[in-house]
Amino acid sequence: MVQLSDDSGRPTAGDAARRAVASVGDDAIRRAIAVSAIELLHSPGPEALIARILERIGQACGVSRVQLYEDKRDPSGAVAPALRSAWLAPNVAAAPQRSGSGTLAGQAPSLPAQDGAVALLARDAPEPLRGVLSAAGVKSVLMMPVAVGGARYGEVHFDDCVQERAWSAAEIDALRLLAEMIGTAIARARDLQEFSDISWVIDHSPVILYRIGGKAPFPMTYISRNVRRYGYDGRDLLSSPCRYQELFHPDDLPAVMTTITAIATGEVSEVIRERRLRDADGNYIWFEDRARGHYGPGHELLEIEGLLVDISERKNSELKLEQISLADPVTGLPNRKAFMAELERAYSAARRGGPAFAIHYIDLDRFKDINDVFGHSKGDELLKAVADRLRRMRRRNADVIARFGGDEFVVLQSEISDPADAGALAARLLKAIEEPFNLGMEIHTTASIGIAVFSPEVTGTEEMIKQVDLALYRAKDLGRNQFHFHSEALDAATIERVMLGGDLQRALDRGELQLNFQPQVEIATGRIIGFEALARWNHPTKGPIGPARFVAIAESNGTIHRLGRWVIDAVCQQISQWRAAGLKPPPVSFNVSAGQLRGAAEFDRELAERLRHWSVGPKAVEIELTETVLMETTQRHRDIIGRLYSLGVPIAIDDFGTGYSSLSYLRTYRVDHIKVAQEFIKDIKPGSGGIAIVRAAISLGRELGIPVIAEGVETRFQLDLVKEAGCQFVQGFYFSPPVPADRAAELLQRGVVVPDETGKPAS
Ligand code: C2E
Ligand code: MG
Ligand code: MG
């Protein structure tokens, strides 16, 4: 048995062997270890590295084999060494498997060990180890334990098949270092494996980790890689560190920022909220956002750390459940419950001063017959088809269409300005339902509609439902296929307006409208400086209808654009005709209402186009806008006046003094005429103080250099007063009422207007 050398320097049986390897020496081993250590630091993969270390050490020591065994447990729980890596010197055969129970070194418990390392000559080894070693041709072996992470892993065996080798204490120390390195390499490999397992978990985890810096604008400083599940590259996100804020749903962003601020101020340190974030494809995904602040010693926020947990599945099923509970299964429309919630919302908004709204309660006429004749499934099909038609009639998103059950539908019409709006919609709904339904066969049906309009007097939504129910009952009672309001007064007025609305469409087609022209006159000379074109409607059965009435109807049923186009064309055509007749018409003004300017960009483009079409220059016409229209439109389409100016069309302020009192537009845009509203002129009676406003308007006009026209001057008395107040121009019955085109041509020919001294309208 070979003794390890001891400090006494007493010769041992191993001395000879030790001398024999002196040429190799522990220097070579140390060098090999140093090189291996450097490799270990830059190791690409542990397996290859261990093989390389074994080789290098084997060569440095001059042994026959270096083998790494791992302690494995067999099914009985006993340790069974397993070969993990081996280096063999040239011409040395691989050793048979060193099996046996217990650790290999442990099989020689009687051998002296130095910190677990055992060196022995094969012939000294106890059985069964001796047999194992001699079968492998081993003359001597050094068994060095390997620990990984503080626990025993196995052993490295240095086999010498040539000689009985003795190991110096220094060599053994050096090799122990080597065993440690191997242990480290194995530990690293395990860590890497574990790390890649963790990476796998993170990559497949629905949880995204993030960190946000503690100071405004709260840049993102970390985001876990798995954000790529949502199509983002984490590095890209971090390169524009505040971009994450743009990814929140616009509805959620304010709350997100409030939360961050609350954490920053220390108001709360931890917040759990549900948020929507946009993925790279633009879809919003629901997350649970758990954010927690980390604070410095002075309670200042250092950073916010958080988790985003994908909860879209849960949300979607919640949403579906909610939809199921709020939707009618046959038509997919909101059900009564959902409708009542919307109604409640519209009602309280209107109560707070929001827009008025109307409820339409629609009941199909004789639906029971359809069910009886064609069967219930056709009945259901019809309900679906009706629902589709109603859906298509919806003007705004705020309008709600619901099914109350059976053959009853309800429409919540949002933002109405007049009950006539509701009447107009009901008429359209009836018409839409009246069209035959093609459901494999043609089915005809009609409906009755009850309407309730919000008014501040209604006590609540329940009362409105009662009203609308009664109204429907009346509609049915009075013969079906019609609509009724909950109040008779509304019914009469609205039905007339709705009827007139329909008639107006036809009137435009049939040429029932015409223009009259009222001269604008210079007081001093009687000279005509302009004409105002005023629309007239000669209704075939109802007789003449004034513009004050039909313009309002046109506004509420959407005919206003057609009407407006017709006026522009008629004005241009008249100017062309007068010119063709050798007359020199002064500028002809026409009125433009708010509804016409709703699509303001269209209006000025269309006007330019029509003027070009008729070869009429922009100065041949003038646009009259009331202050209210002007203010409303400039608020919505800031530069409408500017654009009209760039067309070169003059602008007059109509009914001056009756609208908003803001005069700023007069300074910004130099309008071409101010027309003092006739209601002020009307007030000018002997002894009244009405002239004050006229005077004020005139001095304002003079200061700004804008000519003023007094409207509605009927009497000599009024004329004298406006003249005395400094007004140079008038338009009114005193000189002439609005007259048809041929009569206007006569006036033009004369060039001056002789006042009607009676002061009565001449026609
Ligand atoms: P407006 O633009 O202020 O037109 C002047 C109105 O005063 C005209 O009424 C005219 O007939 C009336 N009038 C003129 N002189 C006198 C007078 O001495 N005494 C009285 N009592 N009335 C006088 P009309 O034609 O009924 O038009 C009413 C309003 O309807 C117009 O007011 C204008 O705002 C609007 N309107 C008329 N035609 C059109 C049109 O073609 N398009 C649009 N959008 N609105 C129009
Ligand atoms: Mg006018
Ligand atoms: Mg006017």
Q: Kindly state the average pLDDT of the residues 246-260.
A: 91
**Is the minimum distance from the CB of 11 to ligand 1 under 6 angstroms?**
no
- Ligand 3 ion: nearby residues, β-carbon < 5 Å: 654-655, 711
**Is the minimum distance from the CB of 738 to ligand 1 under 6 angstroms?**
yes
Determine contact, residues 420/501, Cβ cutoff 8 Å: yes
Q: What is the CATH number of the domain that holds 297?
A: 3.30.450.20
Does 367 share its domain with 399? Answer: yes
Residue 389, CA distances (Å) to 377, 429, 438 in order? 19, 9, 12
Model confidence at 47, in pLDDT bands (50, 70, 90)? confident
| Mutate-to-test residue for ligand 1 from 512, 518, 534, highest number of ligand atoms within 8 A of CB | 534
Which pLDDT score, from 0 to 100, does residue 44 have? 53
Distance 510 CA to ligand 2 centre (A): 25
User: What's the token pair of residue 403?
Assistant: 């099914």
Does 607 share its domain with 543? Answer: yes
Is residue 494 one of the residues assigned to a domain?
no
295, 316, 337 — which closes off a domain?
316
Instruction: Point out the ligand 1 atom lying closest to the alpha carbon of residue 626.
Output: 34
In sign, the C-alpha dihedral spanning 374, 376, 381, 382 is: positive
Which pLDDT score, from 0 to 100, does residue 11 have? 34
460, 486, 512 — which closes off a domain?
486
Minimum CA distance residue for ligand 1 atom 42: 591
Spatial distance between the Cα atoms of 175 and 158, rounded to a whole number of angstroms: 10
**Is the minimum distance from the CB of 657 to ligand 1 under 6 angstroms?**
no
Which pLDDT score, from 0 to 100, does residue 689 have? 60
Model confidence at 759, in pLDDT bands (50, 70, 90)? very low
Return the ∠ at Cα 349 (arms to 345 and 355), rounded to 5°.
120
Q: What is the pLDDT of residues 174-199, one digit of tens each?
A: 888 888 888 888 887 777 777 666 77
Residue 51, CA distances (Å) to 84, 88, 117, 359 in order? 9, 11, 21, 85
Does 367 share its domain with 467? Answer: yes
Is residue 158 one of the residues assigned to a domain?
yes
Distance 91 CA to ligand 3 centre (A): 119
* Number of neighbouring beta carbons within 10 Å of residue 235: 9
- Decide if pLDDT at 757 tops 90: no
Does 169 share its domain with 204? Answer: no
Distance 549 CA to ligand 2 centre (A): 15
Does 312 share its domain with 331? Answer: no
Which pLDDT score, from 0 to 100, does residue 243 have? 92
Which pLDDT score, from 0 to 100, does residue 603 have? 87
Q: What is the CATH number of the domain that holds 582?
A: 3.20.20.450
Q: Which ligand gives the minimal distance to the CA of 709?
A: 3
Mean pLDDT, the chain, rounded, equals: 84
Determine contact, residues 131/97, Cβ cutoff 8 Å: no
Q: What is the pLDDT of residues 487-546, one digit of tens each?
A: 876 667 667 777 788 889 899 989 999 999 999 999 999 999 999 999 999 999 888 999
Does 557 share its domain with 518? Answer: yes
Does 170 share its domain with 211? Answer: no
**Is the minimum distance from the CB of 622 to ligand 1 under 6 angstroms?**
no
440, 459, 486 — which closes off a domain?
486
Most confident of 68-82, 152-166, 518-532, 655-669: 518-532
Is residue 8 one of the residues assigned to a domain?
no
Q: What is the CATH number of the domain that holds 124?
A: 3.30.450.40
Lowest-pLDDT range of 386-390, 584-588, 666-670, 746-750:
666-670
Whether this prediction's pTM lies above 0.75 is answered by: no
Does 34 share its domain with 179? Answer: yes
**Is the minimum distance from the CB of 659 to ligand 1 under 6 angstroms?**
no
Distance 221 CA to ligand 1 centre (A): 68
Burial class (CB in 10 A: 0-12, 13-18, 19+), 217: exposed
Distance 559 CA to ligand 1 centre (A): 19
Is residue 273 one of the residues assigned to a domain?
yes
Spatial distance between the Cα atoms of 412 and 366, rounded to a whole number of angstroms: 24
Number of domains in the chain: 4
Model confidence at 130, in pLDDT bands (50, 70, 90)? confident
Which pLDDT score, from 0 to 100, does residue 679 have? 83
- Ligand 2 ion: nearby residues, β-carbon < 5 Å: 591, 624, 654
| Domain membership of residue 694 as a residue range | 503-750
Q: What is the pLDDT of residues 342-384, one digit of tens each?
A: 999 999 999 988 889 999 999 998 888 888 888 888 999 999 9
Which pLDDT score, from 0 to 100, does residue 22 have? 41
User: What's the token pair of residue 127?
Assistant: 């059985």
Which pLDDT score, from 0 to 100, does residue 8 have? 39
Distance 579 CA to ligand 2 centre (A): 23
Distance 763 CA to ligand 1 centre (A): 15
Is residue 702 one of the residues assigned to a domain?
yes
Most confident of 113-122, 490-499, 629-638: 113-122
Distance 667 CA to ligand 3 centre (A): 21
Is residue 755 one of the residues assigned to a domain?
no
Q: Which H or E run contains 745?
A: helix 741-750
Q: What is the pLDDT of residues 468-480, one digit of tens each?
A: 988 998 888 777 8
**Is the minimum distance from the CB of 624 to ligand 1 under 6 angstroms?**
yes
Which pLDDT score, from 0 to 100, does residue 19 have? 37
Distance 457 CA to ligand 2 centre (A): 36
Which pLDDT score, from 0 to 100, does residue 134 have? 86
Does 184 share its domain with 241? Answer: no
Q: What is the CATH number of the domain that holds 371?
A: 3.30.70.270
Which pLDDT score, from 0 to 100, does residue 180 have? 85
Does 127 share its domain with 241? Answer: no
> What is the residue whose two structure tokens read 């649970």?
288
**Is the minimum distance from the CB of 715 to ligand 1 under 6 angstroms?**
no
Does 287 share its domain with 415? Answer: no
Does 632 share its domain with 735? Answer: yes
Which pLDDT score, from 0 to 100, does residue 25 have? 55
Instruction: Point out the ligand 1 atom lying closest to the alpha carbon of residue 734.
Output: 18
Residue 634, CA distances (Å) to 24, 163, 597, 651 in order? 99, 107, 10, 14
